[in-house]
């Protein structure tokens, strides 16, 4: 009896050890395959020795511009469009325009309880992609309906965090930029969970919210020009984040009141980023060419 019991104990210990080793192996594999940047907060980083440190983009503008240029080139149209159609951007799709801001709500309180100036409007915090499609260059407009959505960026990680998010990293010349793309107005694919997983190389990640028919080209819609179809509301976290101070500066700028040099630079850069991504994801983007002097840029 003692020998049998001893044998059972030994077998139990061996089985328990093997189970622990299996769990450790799985954990080690998952941990080893998780990139070092995935848990980092979005923002610009610089490599110092073997470590990456957060840096202020305002003090590293040239490095940031190079990264953004290379990063934006990889953005793609996130829909399989009906044959013969293209996406037609409208002014009310754009970031930080008078047409878009005028549709926002009034700001009644700042983040610390401040009272903003009267009639301060909240800008469109993001850009709308896919609101209108056309077969004739915009003469007759239609809607995408519940179109399936593909990743706008080919790499990175994706999750459903009460909405579809994609975390990406762009790296160049000892700097890297980590940002999160927020796909608003998109129903995530049921297979996408709450943990970060690699962005699928092919296939769909969700579909547009709404009830419109796919490719319902509509002459009445063309006449109204204000009606919008289902679309992705793209917001970006990690660069040029819109603060209370910048909301006030944007309202001053629209009212043709003076703003500081730093405020003007921020608003110009933010609008350029969103509008360039809009152009890239609608097929109207032109890659900038390098000039011969000091790596400057000119557009085709």
Q: What DSSP line would sit under 188-212, residue for residue?
A: E-TT--SS-EEPPSSS-SEEE-S-P
Tell me the pLDDT band of 220, cut-offs 50, 70 and 90.
Answer: confident
Q: What is the pLDDT of residues 20-37, one digit of tens each?
A: 444 444 333 344 478 989
For residue 229, pLDDT over 50 is answered with yes
Tell me the pLDDT band of 214, cut-offs 50, 70 and 90.
Answer: low
For residue 298, pLDDT over 50 is answered with no
pLDDT attached to residue 211: 75
Q: Which of 102-111, 175-184, 279-288 has the lowest mean pLDDT?
A: 279-288
pLDDT attached to residue 228: 81
For residue 291, pLDDT over 90 is answered with no
Can you read off the two tokens belonging to residue 259? Answer: 């703003």
pLDDT attached to residue 27: 38
CA distance from start to end of the chain: 88
Instruction: Give the CA dihedral 212, 236, 87, 95, nearest 10 degrees.
Output: 100
**CA-to-CA dists, residue 247 to 100, 122, 254, angstroms:** 13, 7, 11
- What SS3 state is found at 8? helix
DSSP string, 251-264: HHHHTT----HHHH
Distance CA 93, CA 131 (A): 8
**CA-to-CA dists, residue 96 to 103, 106, 159, 180, 269, angstroms:** 11, 15, 28, 20, 11
For residue 106, pLDDT over 80 is answered with yes
Task: Judge contact between 78 and 150, C-beta under 8 A.
Answer: yes
Q: What is the pLDDT of residues 111-155, one digit of tens each?
A: 889 899 999 999 888 999 998 888 888 888 888 889 999 999 999
Mode of pairing for the β-strands spanning 206-208 and 186-188:
antiparallel
The mean pLDDT value for 47-72 works out to 95
Is the pTM for the entire model greater than 0.85?
A: no
Return left, alpha or beta for 6; rule: phi > 0 is left, psi -120 to 50 is alpha, else beta: alpha
Q: What is the pLDDT of residues 152-195, one digit of tens each?
A: 999 999 999 999 999 999 999 999 999 999 999 999 999 999 99
Mean of the per-residue pLDDT values for the chain?
Answer: 84
Distance CA 264, CA 269 (A): 9
Distance CA 258, CA 253 (A): 7
Tell me the pLDDT band of 103, cut-offs 50, 70 and 90.
Answer: confident
The mean pLDDT value for 191-214 works out to 88
The mean pLDDT value for 273-278 works out to 90
For residue 226, pLDDT over 90 is answered with no
Sequence ranges of the domains in the chain? 34-290
The mean pLDDT value for 188-208 works out to 93
Tell me the pLDDT band of 199, cut-offs 50, 70 and 90.
Answer: very high
């Amino acid at each position: 009896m003692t020998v049998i019991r001893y044998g059972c104990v030994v077998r139990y210990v061996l089985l328990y050890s093997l189970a622990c080793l299996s769990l450790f192996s799985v954990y080690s594999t998952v941990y080893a395959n998780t990139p070092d940047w995935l848990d980092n907060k979005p923002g610009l980083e610089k490599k110092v020795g073997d470590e990456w440190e957060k840096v202020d983009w305002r003090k590293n503008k040239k490095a940031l511009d190079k990264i953004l240029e290379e990063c934006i080139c990889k953005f793609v149209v996130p829909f399989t469009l009906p044959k013969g159609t293209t996406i037609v951007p409208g002014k009310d799709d754009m970031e930080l325009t008078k047409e878009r801001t005028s549709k926002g709500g009034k700001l009644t309180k700042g983040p610390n309880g401040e009272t903003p100036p009267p009639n301060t409007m909240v800008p469109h915090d993001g850009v709308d992609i896919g609101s209108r499609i056309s077969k004739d260059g915009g003469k007759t407009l239609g809607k995408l309906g519940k179109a399936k959505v593909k990743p706008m960026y080919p790499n990175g990680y994706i999750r459903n965090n009460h909405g579809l998010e994609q975390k990406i990293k762009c790296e160049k010349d000892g700097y890297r930029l980590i940002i999160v793309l927020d796909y608003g107005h998109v129903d995530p694919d049921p297979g996408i969970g709450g943990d970060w997983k690699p962005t699928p190389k092919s296939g769909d990640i969700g579909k547009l919210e709404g009830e419109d028919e796919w490719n319902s080209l509509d002459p009445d819609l063309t006449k109204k020009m204000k009606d919008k179809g289902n679309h992705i509301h793209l917001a970006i976290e990690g660069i040029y984040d819109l603060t209370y101070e910048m909301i006030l500066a944007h309202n001053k700028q629209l009212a043709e009141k003076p703003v500081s040099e730093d405020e003007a630079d921020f608003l110009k850069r933010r609008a350029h980023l969103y509008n360039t991504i809009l152009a890239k994801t609608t097929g109207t983007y032109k890659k900038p060419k390098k000039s011969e002097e000091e790596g400057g840029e000119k557009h085709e």
